[in-house]
Structure 1
């Protein structure tokens, strides 16, 4: 009987083993078939063999300073040999201790994971090697399934057959996501510790090595305790593998780590320029602009940018002094926050200190004082003196959402325990400075602060240029046959049917005074509106429109009406500066541009600007003699006219023209010498009067002077040389063939009046300006206020930004 049971047991065991063997063979067969079917369908390894990581667009100034970085992934590609050994050991100890021994899949690791998953009743963990992680990161999803793991293993094997271990490690070290928008360990070293990767300590390396497993869960900033446990696990693994000593491990565990919020070293003065370049690159390359690691070098100089920015801000600040408090700039609801201090800190980390104006959030507000939290985390109480002009806004229900209350976002200035409430100016402006011979932008400021308003007034603000447009009309007159000594009647004029709603148009000089017959030179120096209109009537609107396009203006920017003479069209500071460069460089049309060179991520030159250069390959826009005569006339504007403030530079080579529009809504000054053209515009974004202080000569010229004092420092004074064909007679300059030609204009409402008997004169110096209305123009601070517009001005509120590359 016993033998019978033994025989039966043997049969059962034999049958079971046979079934198991059969099942195993069947499984092996299925796996073999799956491999044979799947392996040929695996993706090509071109992506790995020709690895091009997604790298951000980086924009530089001409002197090599970073002025902008754009791209979702912060990554700095680093070759494997440049990663420190301590980091490589830490990552291998954490992720794949047998990395240099297996063929892509760690069989023993898989077995351990399989047992753990069976015990857990489902797929809970894996045993992915570094090679498998590379396969997943480049080709597969994060789905937890047998199919994905099977494909991952096959891909890992294929990768191991094609790439060296060091190349695989290099791919992993550069591609892996490590939290905080950091991709790759080089980027993570900067973001978490503000260090270069080769400066990491053992403790820091072990902390970073713990991130691949779960970047959020083991983030040392967000979850310091879990991150510390993960760091200890890795250090123990390194000790077991003989990578470090016991003393090194203990010392690393004791090391106190300091996490510094990484701030990209971006020069804040050129953010408007950086955004212009970003738009240009996006138009050229699409989304690839943000992932291909382009390095773009611009024409702007950071030193010029900083001076230009401060010059503009200074004038805007001074104008805003005395203004009442306009209210808090924002509000955050703190009532639902479980940790108010942390909520406020996170919010403030998204804001920037602008012009030493520090953002702060109000924690408590009462008559006794206002408690605020600063970006540093410090809490400061502001008394009534510190509140100053903002005191009336504290819990003032009449101010609605703008009142100062708990959660209000305000700005303060100061240090230590002394802070006062301040506010950003409402008045805005722009400055553009060009190389007159090439059009290269040396400085461009689009407003008070890019962070608060990204609208670029230098390139996007379509505003009336006022009398800064007159020189283009006068240049057209010279081309038509007039001279600087041509006499024109500065007298009132009335034009039936040319005004609004078909009524008569009655333009006037801004001061209401008229000088009778004066020269063309005197008229531009004193910015006489009546003379400008009569000149345009004489040469013809159509002719003037065609001629002025030579300076780079679009037809839509040149009104098809007599108001063109007063600058009632709309254009941008950049376009005006570009137009004046024709006068400055001897009559050549150059193109304003901010991009110089574009390099790819490998340092190869992808594109380089080939600018049009005055006197070389740039087209001749106007007669060089015309440009010279206009330059000489506009020197008088600086010497004795509306731009006398610019004479503070003490240079004999400066020329320019001011401009002020109706009700002092826009103020301009464009000044230049033969090398540099700089345009300054001041005005509110929603046009309104700037009052008596809002003339081009009083508010725009000071910005220009402060910037140009720096821009021209150390450069020699070189007035423009007279080109061939220019002659001088009686203190005036002429084109040779025009010196004896008479082209005086004496137009009035009825037509041509008799020619005056008084001779042509140059604009007279200050001491001789006390003339009657029949004599020379008295030069006020500004005489170029644009009158009320006639109809059909061709206004257009949208500007299509030309390509700057």
Structure 2
């Protein structure tokens, strides 16, 4: 009894001393123990992902790769692998594992070294969130107390989910969701047992044990995990043996970018940083769905790239990037030396670096950076006459030796499944396509290559718009009681400017004049002097003020008569927004590029609520959802109708009165629902094409970033045959081909969507020559639309019909 009594006293004393020690330790470290309440609303550092409207990943921003997963979405074998390896009694202990602590203590006493830890998953979670990995006794004490707090605050499943999403697993992968993607390019539920075991083995030493850096050590660690799973009866013998002998299949996988669209994703990044701040934007796991459609965006990027290469090719070949050895005078480089050199060459898609190794009469063999040999056939070489200047090209080559010799480092581009000699385009371009009914940006491209230049020309480049301004000038005229049948004198202007003491002589381009001409045809054929006369007739300031209705900035509008010829400067996005007004019945929409923002778990945080172009019924029912109407529906239709003639022309070709508009090449799309307008500035420095139907509006700009550099002109290349673009560069030659290529995809399988005439217009038959009313029903007349009050009041005479300019004091000419 005495022995038992003393033993009991000793036990009680030890217990009290232990409790006092723990209490003392707690108060000693209490001030350093952070509050674990933050775990209830923890924000894991998860990168922001940017998607197309239809859900394809186009970019990812953030330093850490993390794909948060819910506990119910984690495969059970992966949970088993983690528990078997890291904390098999996780669901049984209260945050610390006494058995593990005793085992660790015995190892320490017997060896004198801290070879074995006793950290539970909860303790690891405490360390990962609040402490360092330093092996110190005081850190372990803090770890224990924090773990106890965590167990009181969270359920076991919540703790495990946080741990599996937080843990570092190498190669910038944090959490098991990211590890599955980084090492295997898979979702968690697609992983095999060996792959799950591999991931489960990484927490011990993510850098040293990851299968990309050290496959041998990674395999050994994986098999340890499999052995633990077998011992704990999570898997049977057969599964263990099969998985243990499986090969290492891990490879480095980046984010699964399905469509690289850097200009639109950079717009998203800038917006999110401005709205949420850098840290929150990059690390909160936002999922941002843009407004662009993947197939339409891809078509826009391809059309822009193709168009710039076509311009570059017709202006001539500027020569190789460099010459590695002199043909016939120096020893050719070995294949190994060539590849070593090409390894340092930075490629910009879609161009590939290569070196010419041999030449045949009309072909060349090259060694590409990839290590593959390619043959460039004559079809891929024959374009390459020498570049002399923007206005001059050399003679067409006759053999491959006229272009290349062995030793030249060149660029290749694959076109229509054939290799083609290429070069970096020196030209720039931008394309914006949107839904004119609500402003949704369907596609946006800001340049040839984001890698080459992050300058977004679609939203940042204010360039002179040239004749793209004319629809807005004509809209001002329609508002001032002109009509599409009004006759204006298309004749040279010689205007003396007293203040500047010089004569201003605006000219048509080309320098051809038609005399008296209807406004419809003048806009369709982009008559410069008619645009000037209309601006003079309406009034300079009244016309400029009218332009402000379309969302343009006053500081960008040059209030001089040159405004009629496009001296105003606007971005392609601003131009697309303004043009949309003619496609949607006169409403000024606000373009938007973000459709929805979600948090890391897919919960919607916000979505676009655009104002739409309403009809009268919608306006009466939901006026607050309608975009402001800045011009009348009738005005918008009349201008769009004239722009329709810019593509389809008019008159009768059978009776030799047919004529074409400047946008006639768009007839290749074989759609009668399209309206459009070319734009070219002086010396072809800026070129434009804007065109639309009811549902899609697209603006293309082409020019050099150096706003003083003209696009030049092109001579005929005998090697290329028919259908060449030759002569001076212009909106129709430089910009419209990209518009046509893009719209071919954007409108594919889409029903016709013409701009329908609104109520309130009057349609009467007019004489094509005079614009007066006509009784005839033949090629000399057509039906024309008028706003009330602008309909002609006189009929043309059957014989000897006169125009207003035959009168002694012409009514319209009084304005000038």
Of structures 1 and 2, the one with the larger relative CO (CA 8 A, separation 6+) is: 1
Contact map agreement 2:671 2:752 (CA 8 A) in 1 = no
Report which stretch shifted further, 23-32 or 714-723: 23-32
Contact map agreement 1:492 1:514 (CA 8 A) in 2 = no
Contact map agreement 1:669 1:701 (CA 8 A) in 2 = yes
Counterpart of 2:589 in 1: which secondary structure? coil
Contact map agreement 1:597 1:607 (CA 8 A) in 2 = yes
- What is the match of residue 571 of structure 1? 570
Structure 2 matches for 1:471-490, cutoff 5 A? Answer: 471-489=471-489, 490=491
Displacement after TM superposition at 1:729 (Å): 4.9
Structure 2 matches for 1:3-18, cutoff 5 A? Answer: none
Structure 2 distance, partners of 1:647, 1:383, is 37
Task: Give the counterpart of 1:301 among 273, 293, 306.
Answer: 293
Contact map agreement 1:327 1:404 (CA 8 A) in 2 = no
Displacement after TM superposition at 1:328 (Å): 4.5
Structure 1 distance, partners of 2:122, 2:663, is 71
Contact map agreement 2:410 2:422 (CA 8 A) in 1 = no
Contact map agreement 1:486 1:760 (CA 8 A) in 2 = no
Structure 2 distance, partners of 1:512, 1:390, is 31
TM-score, reference length from structure 2: 0.77
Instruction: After superposition, give the CA deviation of every residue in 1:187-240 in whole Å (9 maximum; x if it has no partner).
Output: 211211122222333322221112111211111111112212222332333344
* 1:737 aligned onto 2:789: yes
Task: Give the counterpart of 1:324 among 299, 317, 337.
Answer: 317
Counterpart of 1:598 in 2: which secondary structure? strand
Aligned CA-pair RMSD: 4.3
- What is the match of residue 728 of structure 1? 764
- What is the match of residue 588 of structure 1? 587
- What is the match of residue 191 of structure 2? 200
- What is the match of residue 153 of structure 1? 144
Structure 1 distance, partners of 2:560, 2:487, is 23
The change in CA–CA distance for 1:702 and 1:760 in structure 2 (over 3 A counts) is farther
TM-score, reference length from structure 1: 0.78
- What is the match of residue 696 of structure 1? 731
- What is the match of residue 461 of structure 1? 461
> For this pair of structures, how many residues does the alignment match?
706
- What is the match of residue 122 of structure 2? 131
- What is the match of residue 4 of structure 2? none
Counterpart of 1:690 in 2: which secondary structure? coil
Contact map agreement 1:652 1:717 (CA 8 A) in 2 = no
Contact map agreement 2:524 2:661 (CA 8 A) in 1 = yes
Structure 2 distance, partners of 1:677, 1:66, is 25
Structure 2 matches for 1:619-638, cutoff 5 A? Answer: 619-638=628-647
Displacement after TM superposition at 1:24 (Å): 11
The change in CA–CA distance for 1:450 and 1:344 in structure 2 (over 3 A counts) is same
Task: Give the counterpart of 1:670 among 687, 690, 696.
Answer: 690
Structure 1 residue runs without a partner (length 5+):
1-17, 332-338, 394-402, 743-753, 762-773, 775-805
Displacement after TM superposition at 1:173 (Å): 1.0
Contact map agreement 1:206 1:234 (CA 8 A) in 2 = yes
Counterpart of 2:522 in 1: which secondary structure? helix
Task: Give the counterpart of 1:646 among 651, 656, 666.
Answer: 666
Structure 2 matches for 1:331-346, cutoff 5 A? Answer: none
Counterpart of 1:614 in 2: which secondary structure? coil
Task: Give the counterpart of 1:757 among 787, 802, 806.
Answer: 806
Instruction: After superposition, give the CA deviation of every residue in 1:698-743 in whole Å (9 maximum; x if it has no partner).
Output: 232232233333333341353421431445351443221233599x
The change in CA–CA distance for 1:390 and 1:518 in structure 2 (over 3 A counts) is closer
The change in CA–CA distance for 1:245 and 1:64 in structure 2 (over 3 A counts) is closer
- What is the match of residue 769 of structure 2? none
- What is the match of residue 278 of structure 1? 269
Structure 2 matches for 1:120-519, cutoff 5 A? Answer: 126-268=117-259, 270-287=261-278, 288-321=280-313, 323-325=316-318, 327-328=320-321, 354-355=349-350, 357-358=351-352, 372-374=368-370, 379-381=371-373, 411=412, 413=414, 422-489=422-489, 490-496=491-497, 504-519=503-518
Contact map agreement 2:357 2:365 (CA 8 A) in 1 = yes
The change in CA–CA distance for 1:469 and 1:285 in structure 2 (over 3 A counts) is same
The change in CA–CA distance for 1:467 and 1:51 in structure 2 (over 3 A counts) is same
Structure 2 distance, partners of 1:567, 1:221, is 58
- What is the match of residue 654 of structure 2? none
- What is the match of residue 543 of structure 2? 544
Contact map agreement 1:653 1:673 (CA 8 A) in 2 = yes
Structure 2 matches for 1:605-620, cutoff 5 A? Answer: 605-615=604-614, 616=619, 617-620=626-629
Displacement after TM superposition at 1:581 (Å): 1.1
Counterpart of 1:680 in 2: which secondary structure? strand
Structure 1 distance, partners of 2:809, 2:743, is 34
Structure 2 residue runs without a partner (length 5+):
1-8, 325-335, 387-403, 620-625, 650-659, 714-725, 767-782, 795-802
